[in-house]
Chain A
Amino acid sequence: MWQALREELHPQGVELVTVGLDTLGADGCRAFIEAAKPSHPSLIDRHHVVADLFGVVNIPSSVWIDEAGMIVRPAEAAPAPPRATPAPPRALPDEMPQRLKDMMVEAAKIPNHAEAYHAALRDWVEKGADSEFAMDAATVVARSRPRNADTARGHAHFELATGLEMEGRHDLAILHFREAHRLVPDSWTFRRQAWSLETFGDGPLARFWQGPLPGNEADWPYAGDWLGDIKAEGAEHYNEGWKP
Chain B
Amino acid sequence: MLLKSLNVPVKEFEAGTGWQIKPEGACKGDVCIPLPEQGGTDLDIRQVAEAMNLPLVEEPQAGLYALGPESIGGKALATAVAPEMTLPDLDGNPFELSSLQGQKIIVYAWAPY
Binding site for B on A (CB under 8 A): 2, 13-22, 26, 28-34, 41-45, 47, 49-50, 52-56, 59-72, 74-75, 78, 121, 124-125, 128, 136-138, 140-142, 144-149, 151-157, 159-160, 163-164, 167, 169, 172, 176, 179, 189, 192-193, 195-196, 207-208, 210
Contacts and interface: CB of A to CB of B under 8 A. Distances in A.
B77 A55 contact: yes
A3 to B, nearest CB: 11
Contacts of A20: 110-112
Contacts of A138: 80
B82 A69 contact: yes
A145 to B, nearest CB: 4
A172 to B, nearest CB: 6
Contact of B66 (A16, A50, A142, A159): A159
B111 A193 contact: yes
B57 A157 contact: yes
B92 interface: yes
B105 A29 contact: no
A148 B72 CA distance: 8
Contacts of B41: none
Contact of B111 (A22, A121, A153): A22
Contacts of B105: 14-17, 64-65
Contacts of A22: 111-113
B56 A21 contact: no
18 contacts: A15-B104, A17-B95, A18-B108, A44-B90, A54-B76, A62-B107, A63-B82, A69-B98, A70-B80, A137-B79, A141-B79, A148-B74, A151-B71, A156-B55, A163-B2, A163-B66, A164-B62, A207-B112
Contacts of A31: 112
A154 B68 CA distance: 8
A147 B76 contact: yes
Nearest to A5: B106
